[in-house]
Homo-oligomer: A and B are copies of this chain.
Amino acid sequence: MNSMETHEKNKSWIKTVKIPPPTLQNNTADADRLISVLKRLLKTDTIDIDVSVLGKLPDLVRKWDYNVSCSLFKDRKRWLLTGIKSLHDSTPFTGLAVDLGTTRVVLRLVDLSTGKILVESSLDNPQLSVGPDILARIHFTDQKGGLEQLKELIIKGLNKAIEKLCTQCKNKPEDIHLISVAGNTAMTHLFMGLNPHWIIREPYIPVINRPGLIKAKDLGIKVNPAAEVFIFPNIGSYFGGDLIAGILFSRINRIKDTTILVDVGTNAEVVVGNKNWLIGCAGAAGPAMEGGVTRMGMMAGPGVIDQIAINPDTHDFKIHTIDDMPPKGICGSGVIDLAAQLFLSGMIDIRGKLLPAVCGNKIIKKNGIRHLVVVSAGESATGSELTISQAGLDSLIRSKAAMYTILETITSSVGISLNDLSRFFVAGTFGSFINPVSAISIGMLPDLPPNIYKSLGNSSLGGATLLLTSSDFLEDIDRIRDSITYLELNVNQEFMNRFSAAKFLPHTDPSLFPSVKI
């Protein structure tokens, strides 16, 4: 699934029109003659032209003999004209899709006429310098000037990245006429300079659910002065626009069969549904989730172990690193592979405990805690051995149990079983790299046929990109926003029972995982 496939020329935000030249009989103003042509084309009765476009309109349309390429966007009931170009201009109108992550921000420059992705880049969220997570940053806004500082950090970081991105593909920031931003509720609030104080305080109230459009220049973003920024709406403090963008990208809201979308990034969010209904729940589910599902391993990058196989007889490790560089660490999907292989080869028991009798001299002790050596000091890029500790394995067991418990809870809340799902979309910076077979082996994901699983990559960025490529999706966003039911995860006795049962490999009830043969 990629935005290119879905691009339809006549749904593009760019429209080419011929304005009737003025005469003494038709001496309507230039802007009003252009608007009247666009009204007919777009079947709308309200089109507003940004005043910065009006300024240059008369001379340009005369120079171009009244043939104009127009960059448009729709704001609920009215259309906005954000730019004009000559039909012979070789530089395209561009749009910028932004996945505004707490940790990582990803940008994508798109040709608005063709829907083609021109270039992509990412940067650490510059707000990391203030605090590593949402909570720390929201607390920081209680300090005088804190909110302004956080807003400035992200806007300045974006401006720098935009300039670099444009230089890479020989475009100009002034050619960016539309920006679509998907992020969690706290990040989008900080991006808009909105006070996030009440987001983390009962009853957890955002400033706004549907921010809609804001002028880029009002946010301090240095692109075309008429450019509009669309910010994906949120459902609440803990269910952000990033997930709505993800749903849009997965299309689970358009599919007849019931499917599931699991987004594992900094948080884990789950949505189940079909074209008739959607139910979602988000992340941190109280004490059971302490440590989260994602604090496993390091960020993927060259030299990071992402795949592991263990010979069940010799217990030799066969590792794969990204870019085949010498190993320097292990990422989340690698950790899941490792745990699955340790379990399948009998090196850990069903509680995830390292078995010295089997592991032999692969076990060492550091500060009194058992570690399993994955790569010896001689073979690693760092010069020390790469290990996984018993504490790390325990944490993984809790995380995978929490994930499985959430999946069971949300499906049973709508009276279906995990086996009823016809498709299982996994998205997110971490989730996309998970090997489903390994995740099934440890009981993190349900025992469905592997071809049911589909990795979406960065679905939040994907959704933000889709919006740039077609006017078809604005209504979808509103419909998703308004139709989704938010399931509050209560950590009650039933949840804890499920969680306890899931803390074994793959599960206390092995009949749930028939494919996992030990």
Measuring CB to CB, which residues of chain A are less than 8 angstroms from any residue of chain B?
22-24, 27-32, 46, 48-49, 51, 54-59, 76-78, 192-195, 197-198, 202-212, 214, 218-219, 234, 236-237
Contacts and interface: CB of A to CB of B under 8 A. Distances in A.
Contact of A77 (B24, B78, B194, B211): B78
A56 B57 CA distance: 37
A275 to B, nearest CB: 24
Contact of A194 (B55, B193, B194, B205): B55
B27 A207 contact: no
A31 B209 contact: yes
Contact of A195 (B23, B55, B236): B55
Given A24-B203, A78-B76, A203-B24, A54 B197 contact: no
Nearest to A198: B58
A232 to B, nearest CB: 14
Given A54-B194, A57-B207, 8 more contacts: A27-B236, A27-B237, A31-B207, A46-B76, A54-B207, A55-B193, A59-B195, A77-B78
Q: In the complex this chain forms, how many copies of it are found? A: 2
A27 B203 contact: yes
Contacts of A46: 76-77
- The 9 A-B pairs at the shortest CB distance, nearest first, are namely A31-B208, A29-B206, A29-B209, A24-B203, A32-B209, A22-B205, A29-B208, A77-B77, A27-B203
Contacts of A28: 205, 209, 236
Most buried by B among A24, A32, A54, A208: A208
A197 B59 contact: yes
17 contacts: A23-B203, A24-B202, A27-B205, A27-B236, A28-B209, A28-B236, A29-B205, A30-B198, A31-B209, A32-B208, A46-B76, A48-B212, A49-B208, A51-B214, A54-B192, A54-B211, A55-B195
Contacts of A209: 28-29, 31-32
Most buried by B among A24, A205, A206: A205
A198 B63 CA distance: 13
Nearest to A212: B48
Contacts of A76: 46, 78
Nearest to A237: B27
Contacts of A236: 27-29
A78 B79 CA distance: 12
Nearest to A217: B218
A179 to B, nearest CB: 15
A216 to B, nearest CB: 12
Contacts of A219: 51
A208 B22 contact: no
Contacts of A234: 29
A218 B218 CA distance: 10
B204 A27 contact: yes
A193 B57 CA distance: 12
A412 to B, nearest CB: 23
Most buried by B among A27, A54, A78, A219: A27
Nearest to A225: B218
B77 A22 contact: no
A256 to B, nearest CB: 30
Contacts of A49: 208
A214 B49 CA distance: 10
Contacts of A197: 58-59
B205 A30 contact: yes
Contact of A203 (B22, B48, B51, B77): B22
Contacts of A198: 30, 58
Nearest to A51: B214
Contacts of A204: 24, 27
Contacts of A237: 27
Contacts of A210: 32
Contacts of A24: 202-204
A22 B203 CA distance: 7
Given A55-B194, A77-B78, A218-B51, A30 B212 contact: no
Contacts of A59: 195, 197
Nearest to A48: B212
A58 B203 contact: no
B77 A207 contact: no
A51 B192 contact: yes
A4 B24 CA distance: 42
Contacts of A218: 51
Given A77-B77, A197-B59, A212-B48, A30 B206 contact: yes
